[in-house]
Amino acid sequence: MSGRFVAPRWTPGERLTGRLPDPEWSDEAPTIGVLALQGDVLEHLRALRRCGANAAQVRTATDLDGVDGLIVPGGESTTIGKLLTRFEVLEPLRARVAAGMPTFGTCAGMILLSDELDQDVEQPVIGGLHVRTRRNAFGRQLDSFDTRIEVAGIDGGPLDVAFIRAPRVEQVLADDVEVLAEVDGYPVVVRQGPLLATSFHPEVTGDDRLHAAFVATVRNAMAAP
């Protein structure tokens, strides 16, 4: 056996309709949103549900009010930023992140959560994560790759992950940012309190351990006084 994780099969029609079948809702489970303006939305919803969370798509400020935590998915960070502004979600989201809402950014999500970007062109960001990040730091689409990496705090051995036009952290800007994994000497998984960010796409390999860790973070935040 290769040891690689295999994602569960898709149900016919899920990708075409852009939504999953409605699951049973649990009053005891945390409700975690996936920002659903552009990017890998369905893959994250499936992973969250496999980890025991209620998962919901977030497109508006009203949607945001109904979740206990949020995933900002991979996709195109400039497009997502522009749509956040157009649909008047950016400022409410910045406020929730600043207030301590657990938030998990993957690939483009890492870019959007970063306080600073290593680039000349400005773009809308959510901020809150005290790092400077560079887009496409591992190369363009043809340079995308799969690999296995050890992530501090995640049991069970290396994770299978996919780097697709991936960013990386160029500089950590505060002492409270923990580096949980590196590739080529650069941070690719960082955590700052309730904020988690990865350079890669954990949702496409079927390895749900980072999603499970984030669900646990949301549960702990809900239980805190």
b/e per residue 193-206 (b: at least 16 CB within 10 A)? ebbbbbbbbbbbbb
Q: Which of 44, 130, 203, 211 is catalytic?
A: 203
- What mean pLDDT comes out for the span 199-219? 94
Alpha carbon distance 222, 225 (integer Å): 8
pLDDT digits (tens, 9 = 90+) for 3-38: 444 445 545 455 544 555 566 677 889 999 999 999
In tens, the pLDDT along 45-75 reads 999 999 999 999 999 999 999 999 999 999 9
Convert the pLDDT of each residue in 174-193 to its tens digit: 999 999 999 989 999 999 99
DSSP readout, 34-102?
EE-SSSSHHHHHHHHHHTT-EEEEE-SHHHHHT-SEEEE-SS-HHHHHHHHHHTT-HHHHHHHHHTT--
Residue-level pLDDT at 142:
59
* 201 is an active site residue: yes
Residue 106 has pLDDT above 60, yes or no: yes
pTM: 0.88
Model pLDDT, residue 3: 46
Q: How confident is the model at residue 147 (pLDDT cuts 50, 70, 90)?
A: confident
Catalytic residue from among 44, 107, 130, 211: 107
What's domain 27-223's architecture?
A: 3-Layer(aba) Sandwich (3.40)
Q: What is the pLDDT of residue 12?
A: 46
Set 44, 130, 201, 211: catalytic member: 201
Mean pLDDT score of the chain: 89
How large is the average pLDDT for residues 91-119? 97
